[in-house]
Chains A and B, each alone.
Chain A
Amino acid sequence: MNGNSMLEIRHYSKSYGGGKKAADDVSLTVECGDICGFIGHNGAGKSTTIRAVVGVLDFTEGEIFIGGHSVKDEPMECKKITAYIPDNPDLYENLTGIQYLNFIADVFELGAAEREERIRKYGDLFEITRDLGDLISSYSHGMKQKVAIISALIHEPKLLVLDEPFVGLDPKASFTLKEIMHEMCDRGTAVFFSTHVLDVAEKLCNKVAIIKHGRIIFSGTMEELTEGQSLEEAFLEADHEEIQHSS
């Protein structure tokens, strides 16, 4: 294992009932300071892979390492340095935003001053501080997404895993999140996120992985993939080549 790699997926496969593989021999590496975009069609296996990475989905084939720890054998060590934001965050609806953030801060054993400073910082950045006293059930989808993002950021993870993070966010919040991702990357945090918005991935990521029918068809740097084209063109080309190859 590379000493600088924060996330390493080795030959990970996942089948559901019926023997069809949702993820098939997936291997990729995300190093410290990388922002890696994970792209593919609907149902390609992005969420299945992401959920296995963050320890939500059980798997038997392959290995996943976070910061050198095995997700299978040392899940607690992995989770302590990882933050995950799902595509449709199911938060505790009957807690207020601040109660939920305090719950997460308690879980990660953050001190009172520390949590207050970070919640205020990110709350102000996402312009949600004033709403934190209201019940989450009264929030819009975007506001819930903001609370989920803040909860992921307050414990300063070494690996940030996001599943379609920009869905539902207003333009300002999307911009803020991108800025934060850059800042974290500069501090050595690895970011691994799935998206369908190729323009965002192109501007944000230095690495990209493309998944199709559960198989990785490309994994490397953005330059290696695009070679002077736009990401959209490169993605469609890679997709087309894969169709020809499989037929």
Chain B
Amino acid sequence: MKKYSILLKTMLLSSSLGNIRRHTYDRKKKRKIIGSRIGLTLLCAMLIAYSILICVGFGKIGMTGAVPVMCALVISSLAFVFTFLKSNGYLFNFKEYDMLMALPFKTRTVAACKFLYMYIKSLPWYLSISAAMLAGYAYYARPPFYTYIIWIILSLILPVIPMLAASFIGFLIAKISSGFKKTNLIQTIFTFVIIVLSFSLRYIIEALIGDDKIEAVLSGISMMTGRASGIYFPAGWFAAAVTRTDIPKMLALTGLSFALFAAVFYIVGNSYRQINSAIRSHAASKNYRMRRQKKSSVVNAIAFKEFKRLTGSTVYMTNAAVGELLAALLGIITLVLGFDRIIAIITQGAPIDPAILQPAIPFVVYFFVGMVATTACSPSLEGKNYWILQSLPIEKKTIRQGKMLFNMYLTVPFMLFAVLCMCLSFKVPLLNTVLYLILGVALCAFSTAWGCVCGVWHMRTDWENEVEVIKQGAAVVIYMLPNMLAAMGLVVLMVWLGTKMDHTLLTVIAIGIAGLLAGVCYKIAIRLR
């Protein structure tokens, strides 16, 4: 136990912004830390407001009883997805592996501490959601005082099971991939498959249950939460514990979490060194023969370097390219399933005229494609290699242009493909299809340039683990959350405006605004010091 606390304490201290602020004499660094804290606090406030709004919505339609299940499901889903995306960089293949493994720690201790570190670092986000939902629930349900206590205690335990499940799947993927020569590639493919399955789970469950005749949105929500808690027992146990003070279920949730923790890290600990050895070792063919080399422009050379950086890291690849993959899948599914079916799934059978949704097509695709811009994390990802670019005779402007060019190479084809698929499925007129494609490109340009602004603004090269930059970096968080929320808002706005004005005119205006914003962000990104 003592070894656990020594290692965990050091891990937390080594990534603590407070520790850096206390010991650094670099004023710029101190200012950046304060900026990051303000940014993260604002985002936390947004998350709290969003959670409260969900409760208010449920309260207004008289469904307060569904809030605890909804809370458990939201936290569990987020915990699963975010842990899964992080597990490769945190549990395996981390920078200080050699240093830690050479010290007298059991492999199980190192693996479990890495998990506990992930848990502690993400807990404030989950607790923010939980506390906000408790406040919303309490306002409408007026529960007894012990509900608050049980809710808060169980909120600490709630993320454990999904995080363990995600870690264990990450472990299995790493274990299988470690048997292949192209470990990284296999790991990336498996990770993508699991991500796609996770996102489609709800629809798969619905298809399995086979009830596609949902009478109304209200009963749909109620049924959904009910079914989900029936399938994912811990959510039901949480709801039962907080609403009916069901002590056995409270103990079941706590006991299962602890038992799974012990079981998972017993299994992971046994193969930990073998997996890490395989992941960190690279076979050398030693059979290269000098052949004709190609010359490319500086900007393209930087873009190619970015491509290799992306494909060389499973964590980076799965986080940065997941949106593009989902956008492509959305396009294919829309084409295959057909327009009416998609609308029925999205609206849960609510009576909506499908034509009014058309102007939102580029924004729906943008929600996915613009989810993570590589430009938001690539400046920080230079890390210790930053000296290479710094010492070369290249202007900062050129470096940023190269990084932006790569993000355009990555996003534009997926954007065009998905928009085209949806336009074909929705039978959008030719002129509007062309305009939607142009709007899609303008949105990619905006996402690229805005990502670059965030990335340069919050550039941090002294990270311990690339996950700190890719998933938790201030640049990515400040880019991603407002961008996703704005994209969702814009989908609604475009649908609403589409009912008031001509679709072609609306799209032209949107192209103008997106283009202007992209231009402004580009100028800022180029000029930032």
Listed in ascending order, the chain A residues whose CB lies under 8 Å from chain B are 16-18, 20, 22, 43, 51, 54-59, 75-76, 79-80, 82, 84, 86, 89-96, 99, 103-104, 106-108, 133-135, 137-138
Residues of B near A138 (CB, < 8 A) are 24-26
Residues of A near B23 (CB, < 8 A) are 96, 133-135
Q: Supply 5 further A-B pairs (C-beta < 8 A) apart from A20-B284, A57-B277.
A: A56-B102, A96-B19, A104-B103, A135-B24, A138-B24
Whether a CB of chain A sits under 8 angstroms from the CB of B10 is: yes
Residues of B near A17 (CB, < 8 A) are 180-183, 281, 283
Known contacts A17-B180, A138-B24: A95-B19 contact under CB 8 Å: yes
Q: Are A94 and B464 in contact (CB under 8 A)?
A: yes
Residues of A near B273 (CB, < 8 A) are 55-58
Q: Are A108 and B104 in contact (CB under 8 A)?
A: yes
Q: Are A90 and B99 in contact (CB under 8 A)?
A: yes
Whether a CB of chain A sits under 8 angstroms from the CB of B96 is: yes
Task: Give complex CA distance A10, B105 in Å.
Answer: 25
Task: Give complex CA distance A91, B14 in Å.
Answer: 10
Listed in ascending order, the chain B residues whose CB lies under 8 Å from chain A are 3, 6-7, 10, 13-16, 19-20, 23-26, 95-99, 101-107, 180-183, 273-274, 276-278, 281-286, 462-464
Closest to B281 in A: A16
Q: Are A16 and B283 in contact (CB under 8 A)?
A: yes
Residues of A near B13 (CB, < 8 A) are 92, 94-95, 99
A-B contact pairs, 10 of them (CB 8 A): A18-B285, A58-B274, A79-B104, A91-B99, A92-B464, A94-B13, A103-B10, A107-B7, A137-B462, A138-B26
Task: Give complex CA distance A104, B100 in Å.
Answer: 10
Known contacts A58-B277, A94-B19, A107-B6: A51-B24 contact under CB 8 Å: no
Known contacts A86-B98, A90-B96, A92-B464: A107-B104 contact under CB 8 Å: yes
Q: Select which of A89, A96, A99 is within 8 A of B99 by beta carbon.
A: A89
Task: Give complex CA distance A102, B10 in Å.
Answer: 10
B23: min CB distance to chain A, Å = 5
Task: Give complex CA distance A89, B219 in Å.
Answer: 59
Closest to B26 in A: A138
Task: Give complex CA distance A246, B52 in Å.
Answer: 74
Closest to B181 in A: A17
Residues of B near A80 (CB, < 8 A) are 104
Closest to A80 in B: B104
Residues of B near A107 (CB, < 8 A) are 3, 6-7, 103-105
B180: min CB distance to chain A, Å = 7
Task: Give complex CA distance A18, B14 in Å.
Answer: 38
Task: Give complex CA distance A75, B109 in Å.
Answer: 13
A59: min CB distance to chain B, Å = 8
B8: min CB distance to chain A, Å = 11
Residues of A near B285 (CB, < 8 A) are 18, 20
Q: Select which of B10, B182, B281, B282 is within 8 A of A95 by beta carbon.
A: B10
Residues of A near B463 (CB, < 8 A) are 93
Residues of A near B104 (CB, < 8 A) are 76, 79-80, 107-108
Task: Give complex CA distance A18, B463 in Å.
Answer: 33
Closest to B383 in A: A93
Known contacts A43-B284, A56-B101, A94-B15: A18-B181 contact under CB 8 Å: yes
Q: Are A94 and B16 in contact (CB under 8 A)?
A: yes
Task: Give complex CA distance A106, B281 in Å.
Answer: 30
Residues of B near A89 (CB, < 8 A) are 99
Closest to B461 in A: A137
Residues of B near A92 (CB, < 8 A) are 10, 13-14, 96, 464
A14: min CB distance to chain B, Å = 8
Q: Select which of A56, A58, A108 is within 8 A of B98 by beta carbon.
A: A56
